[in-house]
Amino acid sequence: MHYVYILESEHNEKHWYVGVTNNLKRRLEEHNAGDSYHTKKFKPWKIKNYIAFRDRSKAEKFEEYLKSKSGRALTKKHF
């Protein structure tokens, strides 16, 4: 399975991050360890939501959409 996930900073809920992985637990640990340049400044993180896909390419397309302007608006409103 491949997961598109939304992380929310535990210190400031205005900061959130969207990513894709095949190991959600390991990836959260990496974000909280500061291994990601884009997320280390706002750690610790918690999983706000995730969606599972069987197909990696579909997961990547959905991640790309969530990172677009309309996808960010959808995420703010519904997630």
Q: Which structural domains are found in the chain, ordered by start?
A: 2-78 (3.40.1440)
Average pLDDT over residues 29-46: 93
Question: What does R_g of the chain's alpha carbons equal in angstroms?
Answer: 12
Return the structure tokens found at 52.
Answer: 């599972």
* pTM (two decimals): 0.90
- Percent of the chain whose pLDDT exceeds 90: 80
- Which pLDDT score, from 0 to 100, does residue 75 have? 82
pLDDT grade for 74, boundaries at 50, 70 and 90: confident
- 23 pLDDT band, cuts 50/70/90, is very high
- Pair of tokens at residue 51: 């969606």
Q: Is 44 helix (H, G, I), strand (E, B) or coil?
A: coil
